[in-house]
Chains A and B, each alone.
Chain A
Amino acid sequence: MFFRNRTIISLLLLGVLNAQSVFNAYGLGLSKSTHHTASAGAGSIGLVPTFHPGVSFDNPATWPGLQFTYVSGSYSNRSIEIGSQESSNYGNGFDKIQFVIPIQNRFAIGLSLKPVNDNNAYFKTDSTRMSFHGRDLTFNKEFRSGGGILAGSFGFAIPMNDRMGLGLSFDKLFGSSRDEESLILNSVHYRLFNIKTYSGSVFNINFAGKFYDAKNVMVTGYARISMTREPVSGTQYQFDLFEDINDNYSFDTDDYPATIDVDTIKVSNIYAPSSFSFGLNAGFNNDLNIFGEFQLWNDQATNGKYTSIYKDQIGSKSHVGGGLVKFGKMGARSWQDRITMRFGIFKESYLLKNSGRKINENGITVGFGFKFAATGNQLDVAYRTGARFMTNDYKESIQEFTIGLSLGDIWFLRRRAK
């Protein structure tokens, strides 16, 4: 079955461009809080169950609750409207690709690939006109950046006792980004490129536990501690400024000067995220769940040399959110009963390291999940609307549509002898 779906997985990998944001230009850009579509539908940071009763794909401690092995992918399309601009920015890209194998309802292992942050931004200044001894000079500037850090993650879940479980995961951080500064003088582009590579690692300790279990209600708690094992270091390839005579965005033999140098700069300790998160979920016997989550995130990097157009970077972040999830039943006769409904609301605050300025973000989310087939396949969709703003500065209106497909299969099933 997994091989049958290679086409879908390939399509999920096609787009990797998220919509640009003003705030992506601060340092390495904004870090993503949500990865799986089920979590996105509830506005969750992935601690509490949103995919299946007792299971969040983003929390390894809950993976033993899965009844099947899953391949899961999430893909989002985002629209960001900046200030009073008439036009919006659109972008799309995969949010997560994941493979999870539950083992005997007690253990689980999983692999995933997900974007950690987003560096996509595109700025333009107004045109400036000046006369240089009778020669008219008109120029403006453009700044573009894209790419970012990805995390390749390996995680496993182990039981602590019959009420608690632990999930450990190791994230290998890697990736690259490219930024371009250009000055357009009388329609001639002068460009400068930087290509940056990243490498580092993070490990996470996840916890899931049943705190209270009565006839009508069950209260579960979840927590995660993320720590940097190896701060992200990188190499910056800084290409010299050149005149892009043929305006093809890259340096070639038609451009001036004939050759350019590339400075290779090694930079260490540029990104060292750590966070503490916890959440509570109250599940009622009618499959309705109410949850709340809180997260404190901090970048403890000591080196700020990877700056962009804004000489500042994200230093910390807090998240508060809550919502409702009503899980569908896989074996229900009526298709309506197989639908999982999600609703959430959240608020995030980013703090900039150098200036101390705060970026506030809030959002409302709604999502649906539809179970089909005997192996727990699930199609999830999520919609989020919200705003992100800095006091007395830019304001962005965000709309995001996410689609996720999780295909289940049975592994490690004891076969009957023929």
Chain B
Amino acid sequence: MNINILNTTLGVCLVGLLALSACEEAAIPVGVDNTPITLDTISFPVVKAIAYQSPPEMGKTEYLYFGKQDGFDFQYNLIKFDSTSVTANTPFSYFNDSLVVVDSLRLSLRFDKDSITSDAEFQLRYFPSGGDSVFNELESNYLNFNQAIASEIISTAQMEADSIDTNKTEVYLNFTLDSSIVNAFRDTSVLEYNRSFLVELANESSESFYFHSTDIQAGIKPELTVFYRQFLSDTVVLDTTSRSYLAVADISIITPAPISFEDSTTLSVSIAKGLKSIVFVDMGDWTLPSKSIVSSAQIIFNRVESDSIAQFKVISHPMTSEGVYERFTSFMDDPYDEDLNFFVSTALIDNVLKINHRKAATEIGHKNFTNFGFKLQSSFNNDPFTTVQFYGINNTDYYPVMRVIYVLP
């Protein structure tokens, strides 16, 4: 065998194979008729809609509010701290050790401004008899929370400036607490003792004060610092050190401002006023074809006001029970539970709100979920004092409607 001829031939083959390895595919045009997979649309009218009021849910706001503002009365704030420290994960039970001596505690709140504008005095209470759960961030409000379970005043404080550097100053409200407080916290019989405090203005004020809450995106959360010393022996003691515990839940307990005529006659939403709205979309006995995908099922609302507004989002869920649409009502508790699996948060764009409830529409269309209507409420990320009103079903031009677009296999 001539090895040169063989090698040359094999080389040519390999080069040829590599040269041929590319491929290109241009789509062949075909008519759309009689081809599988199709698009369809349907519109459903909103036949019932009403706004209602329930106590404000302020547990997820970015600030803790004190004072008064635009008819709102900020009564007090409740704060609960973590059971373990930020560094070293030190639990409060650590202070049970007889060789550890707590000198003092400090509770700090960060003011949202960098200068002190008032000499207002604040006072602090705690809940020595409150058990393990004093308040609920999502449920506590001015109607269901009993302030009387709090202790006597254990500390008072005024805002004070803290110079970060030569150019920047931060303002804090620092409460100094006696070490006896931690004695309650470290009670050996109740290691998970509540770590909740009540903060309020010492005197009524017409001003309003905002402090960073635990839900703030960029800020300094409320913090409880424990200063202590540790004895290594009867005669040797380490320098004072500290552990910091961050807030894990907090809420402003407020009394809402009065409801306006527009609030009650439009589909309005507001956190601080406790305004929410419900709508019922008449989907009849509509059945979504099997295996279909809902591309969008938008319930479209038009804002009453025509001015521009900072980014505003509306949260919506399908309800799990029938709504009452006869008249605007103020409830002691929100009577309408929602299915949290179908949570939708939608931004208001050009004063039009298009809530895409395609998951819920799919389940309703497949008869897996009963259509009780949909609930609208302001997102916790919005300014809680902003009220947005949408046209209801009586407006001839801007009535709400649901538009569904779906794809069928």
Q: A241 and B407: CB pair below 8 A?
A: yes
List which A172-201 residues lie within 8 A (CB) of chain B: 181-183, 185, 188, 190, 192
Closest to A191 in B: B37
Contacts of B70 in A (CB 8 A): none
Q: How far is A234 from B63 in the complex, measured between Cα atoms in Å?
A: 64
Q: A241 and B13: CB pair below 8 A?
A: no
Q: How far is A290 from B271 in the complex, measured between Cα atoms in Å?
A: 92
- Interface segment among B2-10, B91-99, B227-235, B311-319: the answer is B2-10
Given A124-B29, A126-B32, A185-B405, A243 contacting B37 (CB threshold 8 A): no
Given A90-B22, A242-B293, A373-B5, A20 contacting B409 (CB threshold 8 A): no
A372 touches which of B2, B28, B29, B291 (Cβ 8 Å): B2
Q: Mark B18-31, 1 if CB is under 8 A from A, else 0.
A: 00111111111111
Interface bin, chain B? 35 or more
A185 touches which of B17, B291, B407 (Cβ 8 Å): B407
Q: B14 and A92: CB pair below 8 A?
A: no
Q: How far is A242 from B43 in the complex, measured between Cα atoms in Å?
A: 22
Closest to A258 in B: B359
Q: How far is A374 from B6 in the complex, measured between Cα atoms in Å?
A: 11
Q: How far is A383 from B293 in the complex, measured between Cα atoms in Å?
A: 48
Contacts of A123 in B (CB 8 A): 27-30
Which of B10, B14, B23, B24 neighbours the largest number of chain A CB atoms within 10 Å of its CB?
B23
Given A8-B10, A192-B37, A379-B9, A90 contacting B28 (CB threshold 8 A): no
Q: B291 and A240: CB pair below 8 A?
A: yes
List which A119-133 residues lie within 8 A (CB) of chain B: 121-126, 128, 132-133
Number of interface residues of A (CB under 8 A): 60
A386 interface hit (Cβ, 8 Å)? no
A304 interface hit (Cβ, 8 Å)? no
Q: Mark A396-418, 1 if CB is under 8 A from B, else 0.
A: 00000101010000000000000
List which B360-409 residues lie within 8 A (CB) of chain A: 362, 401, 403, 405, 407, 409
Closest to B6 in A: A373
Main secondary structure, interface of A, reads strand
- Interface segment among A58-66, A134-142, A277-285: the answer is A134-142
Closest to B31 in A: A125
Q: How far is A285 from B403 in the complex, measured between Cα atoms in Å?
A: 82
Q: B27 and A92: CB pair below 8 A?
A: no
Contacts of A14 in B (CB 8 A): 17, 21
List which B135-168 residues lie within 8 A (CB) of chain A: none
Contacts of B28 in A (CB 8 A): 20, 22, 82, 85, 121-124, 394
Q: How far is A199 from B272 in the complex, measured between Cα atoms in Å?
A: 68
Please report A residues at the B interface, Cβ cutoff 8 Å.
8, 11-12, 14-15, 17, 19-20, 22, 75, 77, 82, 85, 87-92, 121-126, 128, 132-133, 135, 137, 139-143, 181-183, 185, 188, 190, 192, 240-243, 256-257, 309, 370, 372-375, 377, 379, 394, 401, 403, 405
Q: A20 and B25: CB pair below 8 A?
A: yes
Shortest distance from the beta carbon of A372 to any chain B beta carbon, whole Å:
5
Shortest distance from the beta carbon of B29 to any chain A beta carbon, whole Å:
6
Q: How far is A133 from B36 in the complex, measured between Cα atoms in Å?
A: 25
Given A90-B24, A403-B17, A372 contacting B32 (CB threshold 8 A): no
List which B23-57 residues lie within 8 A (CB) of chain A: 23-32, 35-39, 41, 43
Closest to A375 in B: B1
B9 touches which of A88, A142, A372 (Cβ 8 Å): A372
Please report B residues at the A interface, Cβ cutoff 8 Å.
1-2, 5-6, 9-10, 12-14, 16-17, 20-32, 35-39, 41, 43, 291-293, 295, 358-359, 362, 401, 403, 405, 407, 409
B37 touches which of A11, A92, A190 (Cβ 8 Å): A190
B407 touches which of A8, A190, A403, A405 (Cβ 8 Å): A190
A8 touches which of B1, B13, B27 (Cβ 8 Å): B13
A15 touches which of B21, B26, B362, B403 (Cβ 8 Å): B21
Closest to A87 in B: B26
Q: How far is A143 from B36 in the complex, measured between Cα atoms in Å?
A: 9
Closest to B10 in A: A8
A241 touches which of B16, B25, B43, B293 (Cβ 8 Å): B293
Closest to B16 in A: A403
A309 touches which of B36, B295, B401 (Cβ 8 Å): B36
Closest to B5 in A: A372
Q: B295 and A185: CB pair below 8 A?
A: yes
Contacts of B10 in A (CB 8 A): 8
Considering the complex of A and B, which 10 residue pairs feature the smallest CB-CB distances, nearest first?
Answer: A124-B27, A77-B20, A373-B1, A87-B26, A123-B30, A125-B32, A190-B407, A90-B24, A181-B37, A241-B409
Q: A19 and B23: CB pair below 8 A?
A: yes
Contacts of B26 in A (CB 8 A): 82, 85, 87-89, 122
A188 touches which of B2, B295, B403 (Cβ 8 Å): B295
Q: B23 and A15: CB pair below 8 A?
A: yes
Contacts of A92 in B (CB 8 A): 20-23
Closest to B403 in A: A133
Q: A133 and B405: CB pair below 8 A?
A: no
Q: B293 and A11: CB pair below 8 A?
A: no
A132 touches which of B16, B41, B293 (Cβ 8 Å): B41
Q: B39 and A139: CB pair below 8 A?
A: yes
Closest to B43 in A: A133
Contacts of B20 in A (CB 8 A): 15, 75, 77, 92, 401, 403
Shortest distance from the beta carbon of A411 to any chain B beta carbon, whole Å:
16
Q: How far is A20 from B30 in the complex, measured between Cα atoms in Å?
A: 14
Q: B29 and A8: CB pair below 8 A?
A: no
Closest to B27 in A: A124
Contacts of B17 in A (CB 8 A): 11-12, 14, 75, 403
Q: How far is A15 from B23 in the complex, measured between Cα atoms in Å?
A: 10
Contacts of A125 in B (CB 8 A): 29-32, 35
Q: B6 and A377: CB pair below 8 A?
A: yes
Shortest distance from the beta carbon of B388 to any chain A beta carbon, whole Å:
22
Q: A135 and B403: CB pair below 8 A?
A: yes
Closest to A14 in B: B21
Given A8-B14, A11-B17, A185 contacting B29 (CB threshold 8 A): no
Q: A183 and B407: CB pair below 8 A?
A: yes
Q: How far is A373 from B10 in the complex, measured between Cα atoms in Å?
A: 12
Which of B293, B403, B409 neighbours the largest number of chain A CB atoms within 10 Å of its CB?
B293
Shortest distance from the beta carbon of B154 to any chain A beta carbon, whole Å:
50
Q: B21 and A141: CB pair below 8 A?
A: no
Shortest distance from the beta carbon of A99 to any chain B beta carbon, whole Å:
18
B405 touches which of A15, A132, A142, A257 (Cβ 8 Å): A132
B25 touches which of A8, A91, A185, A405 (Cβ 8 Å): A91
A-B contact pairs, 29 of them (CB 8 A): A8-B10, A11-B17, A14-B21, A15-B21, A88-B24, A89-B26, A90-B25, A92-B20, A92-B21, A122-B27, A124-B27, A125-B29, A126-B29, A132-B41, A132-B405, A137-B41, A137-B405, A140-B32, A143-B30, A256-B358, A257-B362, A309-B30, A372-B2, A372-B9, A373-B1, A374-B1, A375-B1, A403-B13, A403-B16
